[in-house]
Amino acid sequence: MDARLPKHILIVGGGTVGMTAALRLQKKLRAGEARITVVDPLPHMTYLPFLPEVSAGSIDPRHIVVPLRTVLRKCTVITGRVTRVAHDERKAWITTPGGEIEPVSYDILIVTAGSVARTLPVPGLAEQGIMFKTVTEATYLRDHVLSRLDAASATDDPDLRKRLLTFVVIGGGYAGIEALAELQDLARYASRYYRNITAADMNWLLIEATGRIMPEVSPKMGVYTIERLTERGIKVYLNTFAESMVDGNVQLSDGSTFGADTIVWTAGVKANPMLMHTDLPLDQRGRLRCSETLQVVGVSGAFGAGDVAAVPDLSRIDEDPTATCSPSAQHAVRQAKVLADNVIALLRGKKMRQYKHAYAGSVASLGLYRGVADVYGVKVKGLPAWFMHRGYHVLKMPTFASKARIIADWTLALFFRREIVALDQIDHPKAIADSVRALESARIAS
Ligand SMILES: Cc1cc2nc3c(=O)[nH]c(=O)nc-3n(C[C@H](O)[C@H](O)[C@H](O)COP(=O)(O)OP(=O)(O)OC[C@H]3O[C@@H](n4cnc5c(N)ncnc54)[C@H](O)[C@@H]3O)c2cc1C
């Protein structure tokens, strides 16, 4: 590195870690010390723990995202995807939305490209499975579930109706459980406005491959959560795999089969496969190998954190020397701060600090006014847990404006009925004009 010139810091990913680290760097760096470029295919950071509330319609989708350009005023934000990194040459290549490939040189690399849904070779999964990792998927699911009610109420075919009213979630981590609970809550509420659909007409199923759900909370709280879900008519299958879902015909490992028009896949995450197009060291699970100081192991001038990285978990090192931090917002935000401080330490030739945080536990919503929490060993259920979930996550929203917007959404919901309109026409803006044109041309032809 040329000591005289401002260094160029390239941040790959403007999500939880990328945006938090960039905010800290732009605040703490001295003028002329370094310039920062943040590259992300999305123009915003998404606060993922609020996706279930988006799918329930409790929060407007735009309110859980933070526009990178408005908060990272001292950074250059590029909307694009880093598709290759040659760290040896200190060079990365960005594919822009227009399809051009732009090379960019840097001095310090920060890799925070997060994770993607972990899929399995289940026949039909690619065509039928809806992932639950983005604000687009959460918004789509809300509209999709409501539009299934519309379609079911308009048909007299009992088989089709059953299929339309069968909703399956595969994967019993917090993302799957919260998505399931929130969507069922919404659909049950909406059913009161249909003359020919009741809550009992819907089939909600949770399929989990292991013997328990929500590994983030204690086994006892997992059992409590299953009991609450079962009370609400949700069928929970443990130790069960989905073997096939071709054309929506679901086949489970216990031999049962059924048709479903909604299949949500939340069976875990894996590190972003963009790592495979870099010359950086990866562990056996495809994660970026990082040290306690969040530096990439074995190279200089590269850092990584969050879901994309395998960071040693120093709080568990005594019981398991190979333990790494779990993929969670809790670690992501804290790692981002240490990472930014260590980048500054590198620039100033100072000592870096190690990342150490003992996982505090989890809070989860099980639909309106119901929740489960297990924080520092303290177990909370029902309404208090639901308040904890909302309170904790709204405080974690990175800007005052996003906090205020979400609280406004919740406050308005206290005074009005739930919004139950499916706006799935948004995906097909020309559909109505096309059908009018088709009617007109049919009339002319006859
Ligand atoms: C539904 C759901 C609920 C959750 N609930 C909780 C919870 O209650 N508590 C908790 O602690 N954690 C929760 N998590 C997990 C938590 O949100 C993640 O662990 C955390 O967001 C990880 O942060 P990250 O910065 O590593 O990844 P992300 O926040 O996902 O950011 C990654 C960024 O990289 C960008 N990117 C991807 N590819 C490229 C590329 N090639 N080039 C450039 N940029 C790229 C992405 O667009 C994204 O903006 C939840 C996750 C989900 C999906």
373 and 252 together in one domain: yes
Q: What is the CATH number of the domain that holds 250?
A: 3.50.50.100
Residue 342 lies in a domain: yes
**Ligand 1 centroid, distance to 49 Cα (angstroms):** 9
Place of tokens 């590259």: 39
Same domain, 144 and 189: yes
CA of 240 to the centre of ligand 1 (A): 27
Ligand 1: atom nearest CA of 336 is 25
Report the C-alpha gap between 178 and 49 in whole angstroms.
Answer: 9
Residue count of the chain: 446
Region for 87 from its dihedrals, namely left if φ exceeds 0, alpha if ψ lies in -120 to 50, beta otherwise: alpha
If asked whether residues 274 and 263 sit together in one domain, one would say: no
Answer yes or no: are the C-beta atoms of 224 and 372 closer than 8 Å: yes
Q: What is the pLDDT of residues 80-137, one digit of tens each?
A: 999 999 999 999 999 999 999 999 999 999 999 999 999 999 999 999 999 999 999 9
Pocket of ligand 1 (CB under 6 A): 12-18, 39-42, 48-49, 51, 81-82, 112-114, 132-133, 174-175, 272, 274, 306-308, 327-330, 332
Q: Write out the residue range of the structural domain in which residue 211 sits.
A: 125-267+361-415
CATH of the domain at 294: 3.50.50.60
Q: For a pocket test of ligand 1, which of 269, 270, 307, 395 has the largest count of ligand atoms closer than 8 A to its C-beta?
A: 307
- pLDDT tens sequence across 42-78: 999 999 999 999 999 999 999 999 999 999 999 999 9
Of 289, 285, 282, 356, the closest CA to residue 316 belongs to 356
Judge whether 313 lies within some domain.
Answer: yes
In a domain, 238, yes or no: yes
Q: Are residues 193 and 295 in the same domain?
A: no
Is 66 within the bounds of a domain? no
| 164-168, 215-219, 258-262, 314-318: least confident range | 215-219
CA of 307 to the centre of ligand 1 (A): 7
Nearest to 326 by CA among 337, 342, 315: 315
**372 found inside a domain:** yes
Share of the chain above pLDDT 90, in %: 85
